[in-house]
Amino acid sequence: MSADTTHILAPQGPYPPGPEMLNAPVDPQWSRESGARLRAVWAQPRGLRYWSAVNNSEVGQWYAMLCFGFMLAAGVLALLMRVQLAVPGNDFLSADRFNQFFTMHGSAMMFLFAVPMFEAIAILLLPAFLGARDMPFPRLSAYGFWCFAIGGTFVFGSVFFGAAPDSGWFMYPPLATQSEGIGADIWLLGLSFIEVSSIAAAVELIVGVLKCRPPGMRINLMPLYAWYVLVVGAMILFAFPPLIAGDFLFELERSFDWPFFDPERGGDPMLWQHLFWIFGHPEVYIIFLPSIAIAAMIVPTAAGRPIVGYSWIVLSAVAVGFLSFGLWVHHMFTTGLPAISLGFFSAASEAVVIPTGVQLFAFLATLMAGRVRMSVPMLYIAGALAIFTCGGLTGIMVALVPFDRQVHDTYFIVAHLHYTLFGGMVFPVMAGVIYFYPFIRKKMMSPRLGKWAFWLVFTGFNLCFLPMHLTGLQGMPRRVYTYPDLDALNWGWLNMLSTAGAFVMAAGFAVFLWDVIRPKGRDAAAPRNPWGGGTLEWTHDVPEDPGWGVRSIPYITSRYPLWQQEGLLERMDAGGCYLGDAPEGLRETLITTVLDARPILVQRVTGPTWITLAAAGFTGGLFILPVFKLYWPALACGAGAMAAILWWLWRDTARPPEAARKPVGLGLSLPLYATGPASVGWWGMFITMLGDMTAFASLVFGFFFYWTAGDDFPLPGAGHGQPVLCGLAAACYGGGWAAMRLARGWNRGGRVGRARLARAAAPVLALAGALAMAGAVWLPGLDPASHVYPAMLWAFAVWTVVHSVPGLVMPLYCLAGSLRGKLTPAHDADLWNCTLYWHFLLITALVSAAVLGPIPRLM
């Protein structure tokens, strides 16, 4: 993590800057000229080319608006369902349509609103909190956004054709594996595609928090929002991949009849439930934490003082991040698992209350120690607290196994989850929209409309969901499209109340939406820091800001720089801090060290381009076409996506700079090139591959799950992977890895020819390894459709072979770079990143070879 000489040149010049440097006047003429140069560099493209922008402020806004749109659409589905349920025996919606609607309502709210909304807000705000100019990989954000836009439209659009998934957002097999039509495929492939953008965002955000902070912003001074983003990014890396692994198995079953979840052929529907909820429960906290993070920015502003219990909040964020992975079976308390196992999850589900409580009490403590000014955002925070504590308290109830066995899958749970999500996500996000609106638009939202919207949503929400607790206790199950008119049930009046409440709530959202989009041309411009906040986002000066974020990147010495660092704003605006100029005409941001944020590098970030849109389009084809069984065109799209990404990397990343160092202001000169762990690209690769490893680990978990749960795994008498070929595959991948590793050393040592040879050998070995791996399951005639055991072996082989494709392309990319002068002994970032990939490929290949060959023979 530190700047070491093998990966990066040392900075030159004084750091930290002394007070005399920070107080030295800035030449006004230079300030004007450099400002103009910087503005030209960061100018957004205009006209149609606007959509080729990659800057975080643009991408973040598109992202957020699209999520908001999906939320409204999914909310309309909810209203239609409430109409259907208003009276017993209603026939407003057919059973089929109702099932599609509730499936899409849940899926869209989770995958198209709650999680991406976090990503959108974080992309929009994080660089501002950190005084950074942009995210470290702007094009990755844009790519993620376009993937989301294409995938989300595809998934949600299916509702209009009556072809939407209808097995519930949890897609339990065998119902979902055996469901007819393309609904289930749309869900699996469409949402897997969107998960790609979530993981892209996670990579981006983690690297952003760790490496893109302003100089001086040590880890103990970081805004709490950044802590939450760090934790949530890490959670995404460990929570989403199990679902991707599950989707992989699920789609193999649907497309090729490999019986992973079919009990008649040794499969087990419980594996899906495990994989789904290992994702599904952390996901709830992935939604909750970033929203509470918004509250953590609003509360100190309202209290007019720094947060009380900074360390406590960090503790609670990290602890929730961990504990949330030990809760998943509380969605499975009624599946007949061993009693002690249920006990573990009940205990962990209660334990997570402690850090969550700490979080809330830290806010109360801050309000207690401050002089509180109520504002409209604080009104929403109050509503959030009222609703969330209610949801949390019913959460304590449902974490108790005997109680859950009664209310599980009833309207009590519907009430509970909406209380947690509205209190934990919707209200804080609405507070955030009002609070940060002037940051984005330079206008205030109307306090009057804000209060109207609040009281309508708050009243409507409670009218809708409070009665549902009772509806559930009186025995009404979830996901029923109708219910009988029986005195014995008496659910009618409760449902009528809920429906009325839903419409009141909808009216509130309509007011809120109007307030967001209404033309505000006549409204007075908002002041620069309208709420009197203390953190760096309020240094943005919107009309002046073409997208650069800050005029110059400040030196930070406190948690609330605008409250505690006098004169900071003036100096930043004059361009007198870091990177106040762009003489080379390139977009740049600062890279600093992880703990103490010492500046170590000037990172050139990429600018507007269409290539991300093209890459996303091709990636969309790769995921969407298989829904219609168009496998060859899908593969062609996959090749297209890879070509687009290679083109984008080749043209604009890791190019040897024109000079070794450049002056960045305040006397400091920083290097322009870094390699290995000193570069952000390496961290991006490392973090991506951690996620990939988690998905692979989920497959391994599946293998052992079948062994534990069933008597016929490995299938007695069945063949195993061909042992010689397993060994050969392991040897080939080992050789490929060694070639890459040697190439790195040789290249660095100046033996360029030898390094090129090694790089040429690696793809050959990857190909040979992949062939051997495929042969190991092919030659013994293992039929994957016959039983889950051979299917599982095939799944490992397929996984490894697919991962060999980048392993094959990457050395060639490096070879081409070496031949064209992009990769030199001193500029070898690509080589480091590709070697890093090969480390993980080697682990995947060795474990797969072991699972195919020796391990089942030992079982």
Task: Name which of 141 and 394 has its Cβ closer to other proteins.
Answer: 394
Q: What is 381-405 written as a DSSP string?
A: HHHHHHHHHHHHHHHHHHTSHHHHH
How far is residue 93's CA from residue 257's CA, in Å, rounded to a whole number?
33
Residues 6+ apart with CB under 8 A from 146: 612, 613, 615, 616, 617
Q: Using CB under 8 A, pick the residue from 25, 47, 402, 543 that binds other proteins.
A: 402
7 binds other proteins (CB under 8 A): no
Backbone CA torsion sign across 502, 508, 512, 517: positive
List the x/- string, 728-767, binding to other proteins by CB under 8 A.
----------------------------------------
Interface with other proteins (CB under 8 A), residue from 372, 496, 542, 805 = 372
Q: How many residues bind other proteins (CB under 8 A)?
A: 139
For residue 55, the minimal CB distance to other proteins (Å) is: 28
Residue from 30, 647, 707, 778 in contact with other proteins (CB under 8 A): 707
- The verdict on 859 binding other proteins (CB under 8 A) reads no
Under rule CB under 8 A, residue 359 binds other proteins: yes
Q: Which residues of 625-662 are buried (b: 16+ CB within 10 A; e: fewer)?
A: bbbeeeeeebeebbebbbebbbebbbeebbbebeeebb
> Is the peptide bond between 259 and the residue preceding it cis, with omega within 30 degrees of 0?
no
**Counting contacts by CB under 8 A, is residue 468 touching other proteins?**
no
367 binds other proteins (CB under 8 A): yes
- SS (HEC) of 547-571: CCCCCCECCCCCCCHHHHCCCHHHH
Identify which range of 71-79, 407-415, 508-516, 652-660 contacts other proteins by CB under 8 A: 407-415
Contact 806, 762 (CB under 8 A): no
Site for other proteins in 210-269 (CB under 8 A): 216, 218-221, 263-264, 268-269
We find the least distance from the C-beta atom of residue 57 to other proteins, in angstroms, to be 26
Looking at beta carbons only, is 145 or 411 nearer to other proteins? 411
Q: 576: which 2 tokens? A: 């007198």
Among 157, 178, 525, 639, binds other proteins (CB under 8 A): 178
Q: Binding of other proteins at residue 459 (CB under 8 A)?
A: no
- Which tokens go with 202? 């996670």
CB of 397 to other proteins, least distance (A): 5
Could you say whether residue 167 binds other proteins (CB under 8 A)? yes
123 touching other proteins, by CB under 8 A: no
Q: Round to whole Å and give the CA distance between 289 and 352.
A: 13
Closer Cβ to other proteins, 102 or 746, answer by number: 102
Using CB under 8 A, which of the segments 171-179, 608-616, 765-773, 805-813 binds other proteins? Answer: 171-179
Regarding beta strands 668-671 and 661-665, do their DSSP bridges make them parallel or antiparallel, or are they unpaired?
Answer: antiparallel
Asked if 10 is part of the footprint of other proteins (rule: CB under 8 A), the reply reads no
Strand partners, 410: 477
What torsion do the CA atoms of 254, 257, 259, 264 make, to the nearest 10 degrees?
A: 110
Q: Which of residues 485-524 bind other proteins (CB under 8 A)?
A: 486-490, 493
**Is 326 among the residues that bind other proteins (CB under 8 A)?**
yes
Q: Which stretch binds other proteins (CB under 8 A): 361-369, 510-518, 718-726, 739-747?
A: 361-369
- Given 24, 440, 470, 850, the residue binding other proteins (CB under 8 A): 470
Cβ distance to other proteins smaller for residue 55 or 359:
359
In the block, residue with structure tokens 């947690």: 420
> Residue 824: helix, strand or coil by DSSP?
coil
* 538 near other proteins, rule: CB under 8 A: no
**42 or 272: CB nearest other proteins:** 272
Based on the shown chain and the rule CB under 8 A, indicate whether residue 162 belongs to the binding site for other proteins: no
Stretch 567-606 residues interacting with other proteins (CB under 8 A): 567-568, 571, 593-596, 598
Q: Who contacts 165 (Cβ-Cβ below 8 Å, separation ≥6)?
A: 100, 103, 104, 107, 158, 171, 176, 179, 183, 184, 186, 187
Closest distance between other proteins and the C-beta of residue 262, in Å? 8
Pick the closer one to other proteins by CB: 478 or 741: 478
Give the residue carrying structure tokens 């080697």: 842
Closest distance of CB 304 from other proteins, Å:
9
Q: Tell me the H-state helices in 370-491.
A: 376-398, 401-407, 411-421, 427-441, 447-473
Identify the residue among 74, 362, 415, 430 touching other proteins (CB under 8 A).
362
Q: Does 806 bind other proteins (CB under 8 A)?
A: no
Taking the C-alpha atoms of residue 803 and residue 801, their distance in angstroms, rounded to an integer, is 5
Query: Rule CB under 8 A: which of 52-111 touch other proteins?
Result: 94-96, 99
Q: Is residue 397 at the binding interface for other proteins, with CB under 8 A as the rule? A: yes
566: contact with other proteins by CB under 8 A: yes
Residue from the set 25, 160, 311, 585 that interacts with other proteins by CB under 8 A: 311
Position 385 contacts other proteins (CB under 8 A): yes
* Candidate list 40, 65, 368, 525; residue touching other proteins; CB under 8 A: 368
Angle between helices 829-852 and 788-819 (to 10 degrees): 160
Q: 560: alpha, beta or left, given left = phi > 0 and alpha = psi -120 to 50?
A: beta
- In the bound state with other proteins, the residue whose beta carbon lies nearer, of 359 and 818, is 359
- 354 scored as a contact of other proteins (CB under 8 A): yes
Q: Which residues contact 221 (CB under 8 A, 6 or more apart)?
A: 556, 557, 558, 559
Q: Among residues 242, 252, 250, which one has the least CA distance to residue 187? A: 250
Query: Of the two residues 368 and 510, which places its CB atom closer to other proteins in the complex?
Result: 368
**Residue whose structure tokens are 């013994």:** 780
Q: How far is the CB of 525 from other proteins (least distance, A)?
A: 27
**By CB under 8 A, residue 703 contacts other proteins:** no
Stretch that binds other proteins, among 52-60, 242-250, 404-412, 429-437 (CB under 8 A): 404-412
d(CA 298, CA 292): 10
The residue (of 269 and 640) whose beta carbon lies closer to other proteins is 269
Determine phi and psi for 674, rounding to 5 degrees: -140, 160
H/E element, 847 = helix 829-852
Q: What is the C-alpha R_g of the chain? A: 28
SS3 592: strand
Helix (H) or strand (E) holding 760: helix 752-778
Q: Which two tokens stand for residue 119?
A: 């990503």
Contacts with other proteins in 12-41 (CB under 8 A)?
16, 18-19, 22-23
Q: Is 400 in the site for other proteins (CB under 8 A)?
A: yes
Q: Provide, rounded to whole angstroms, the least separation between the CB of residue 563 and other proteins.
A: 11
Closer Cβ to other proteins, 169 or 794, answer by number: 169
> Minimum distance between the CB of residue 396 and other proteins, rounded to whole angstroms?
7
Does residue 338 have a cis peptide bond before it, meaning omega lies within 30 degrees of 0?
no
Q: How far is CA 359 from the centre of its chain?
A: 22
Q: Which helix (H) or strand (E) holds 748?
A: helix 723-748
